[in-house]
Amino acid sequence: MNTKEFLNFEQISRKTWQQLHRNTTVPLTQAELNSIKSFNDRISLQEVLDVYLPLVNLIRIYKKAREDLTFSKSLFLQQKIQSQPFIIGVSGSVAVGKSTTSRLLQILISRTFKHARVEMVTTDGFLYPNAILESRNILDRKGFPESYDMELLLDFLDTIKNGEDYSIPTYSHEIYDIVPNQFQTIQAPDFLIVEGINVFQNPQNQRLYVSDYFDLSIYVDADVTDIETWYLERFQKLLTLAKNDPNNYYHRFTRLSYPEILAVAHDTWKNINLANLEKYIEPTRSRADIILHKGENHEIDEIYLKK
């Protein structure tokens, strides 16, 4: 890590962090945890206790501070308070485990704030359909900034922030495309978790940043060599799942020999995912309020909290 980048962060060891939460009861079972984690990820109930319960406590502090500011502003402006969702952005590399983090936060927040509606969306739904990417000759740039409909994403966040419902496209990793005529409707949530590799990035031809709408930003981090290992493991597991499904996008790779599969995976990592990480994703890390750093065993070993 570039030390200058983290001048504005407090570095906290896992041992210190876990002492910031006194409760020893984890509000979910191992079976529930297994059901929400990505299939190539590893996470334990101990990790929930040591890392995520203190994190939810911190989210409570941020939410209270936001509510106090909203109340003070309403007094100053002599306006009625308008209910707004608390929006959490979660970013990080492909294969780093940000989806698991987001789904886990959704469960923990919903069980901490008993009557709250907690919604989660992934920015995969805001990718342009493959047909559009092909027409623009950027299908091999899927995941890069130009492959997303950022105006639609900003419109979604603006509408949700104003307390209105919104239906967003659905993306399928099995078909590797937007699913036609299938939508996810988000109904005026109390909390909204927005997960994606692009949520802290520079806007494309807009004056707004997606992160302008976030009340709290989290970046899931790990050393590049570890992320590469996890990506290669995930690629091979995706092929195993696709072996008997000719409609699955990854089925085409199952006909290759093992050395050919590894070559495709390494090439995809180097030319797409690593290139995207180094140029567009990792440079946004310092925009986060909280950085969760994972070690090679997938466990979070360091937490960086913006001062």
CB of 204 within 8 A of CB of 137?
Answer: no
**Rounded mean pLDDT, 87-94:** 98
Tell me the CB-side half-sphere exposure of residue 79, using CA atoms within 13 A.
9
According to the model, what pLDDT value does residue 202 have? 74
CA distance 304 to 297: 19
Tell me the CB-side half-sphere exposure of residue 138, using CA atoms within 13 A.
14
- Provide the residue type at 176 as one letter: Y
- Provide the residue type at 64 as one letter: K
Per-residue pLDDT band at 3 (split at 50, 70, 90):
low
Sequence ranges of the binding site for ATP: 92-99
CB of 48 within 8 A of CB of 105?
Answer: no
> Would the pLDDT of 1 be above 60?
no
Burial environment of residue 80 by CB neighbours within 10 A (0 to 12, 13 to 18, 19 or more): exposed
Number of folded domains that form the chain:
1
According to the model, what pLDDT value does residue 205 have? 62
CA distance 19 to 208: 38
According to the model, what pLDDT value does residue 208 have? 82
Per-residue pLDDT band at 209 (split at 50, 70, 90):
confident
The share of the chain scoring above pLDDT 70, in percent, equals: 98
Domain that holds residue 184: 3-306
User: What are 178's strand-pairing partners?
Assistant: 171
- Mean pLDDT across the chain, nearest whole number? 93
Residues 6+ apart with CB under 8 A from 192: 85, 86, 87, 88, 118, 119, 120, 121, 160, 186
DSSP strand pairing (300-306 vs 9-13): antiparallel
CB of 231 within 8 A of CB of 298?
Answer: no
**Rounded mean pLDDT, 145-157:** 94
> Would the pLDDT of 229 be above 90?
yes
251-281 pLDDT per residue, tens: 999 999 999 999 999 999 999 999 999 999 9
The share of the chain scoring above pLDDT 90, in percent, equals: 86
DSSP state of 83: P
107-144 pLDDT per residue, tens: 999 999 999 999 999 999 999 999 999 999 999 999 99
What is 216-230 written as a DSSP string? EEEEEEE-HHHHHHH
According to the model, what pLDDT value does residue 93 have? 97
According to the model, what pLDDT value does residue 2 have? 60
173-204 pLDDT per residue, tens: 999 999 999 999 999 899 999 999 999 987 66
CA distance 102 to 218: 10
CB of 289 within 8 A of CB of 236?
Answer: no
According to the model, what pLDDT value does residue 21 have? 78
20-77 pLDDT per residue, tens: 877 778 889 999 998 998 877 889 999 999 999 999 999 999 999 999 999 999 999 9
Query: What's the CATH number where 177 sits?
Result: 3.40.50.300
DSSP state of 127: B
Sequence ranges of the binding site: 92-99
CA distances from 259 to 16, 165, 252, 264 (A): 44, 48, 15, 9
According to the model, what pLDDT value does residue 171 have? 97
CA distances from 226 to 7, 44, 222, 269, 293 (A): 24, 19, 7, 12, 11
Neighbouring C-beta atoms of residue 66, cutoff 10 Å: 15
- Provide the residue type at 233 as one letter: E
Residues 6+ apart with CB under 8 A from 280: 144, 145, 197, 198, 201
